[in-house]
Amino acid sequence: MPCFTAMRAEIALMSGSAFAVTHHAFSSGAGRTSDGNGSHASTLKSPSYTKSVSWQHYLKTEQLQLDTAMWDTAQAKDKMDAWLSGPNANKIEVVIANNDAMAMGAVEALKAHNKSSIPVFGVDALPEALALVKSGALVGTVLNDANNQAKATFDLAKNLADGKGAADGTNWKIDNKVVRVPYVGVDKDNLAEFSKK
What is the Cα–Cα distance from 116 to 109, expressed in whole angstroms? 9
Write out pLDDT tens, residues 46-101.
Answer: 444 334 333 344 445 555 666 678 889 999 999 999 989 988 888 887 788 888 99
What is the Cα–Cα distance from 144 to 25, expressed in whole angstroms? 24
Q: Tell me the domains of the chain and their CATH numbers.
A: 4-145+183-195 (3.40.50.2300), 146-178 (no CATH)
CB 144 within 8 A of CB 124: yes
Amino acid at 8: R
Amino acid at 138: L
What is the Cα–Cα distance from 57 to 156, expressed in whole angstroms? 35
CA 44 to the chain's CA centroid: 13
- Helix, strand, coil proportions of the chain in percent (round to 5)? 35, 20, 40
Write out pLDDT tens, residues 115-128.
Answer: 999 889 898 999 99
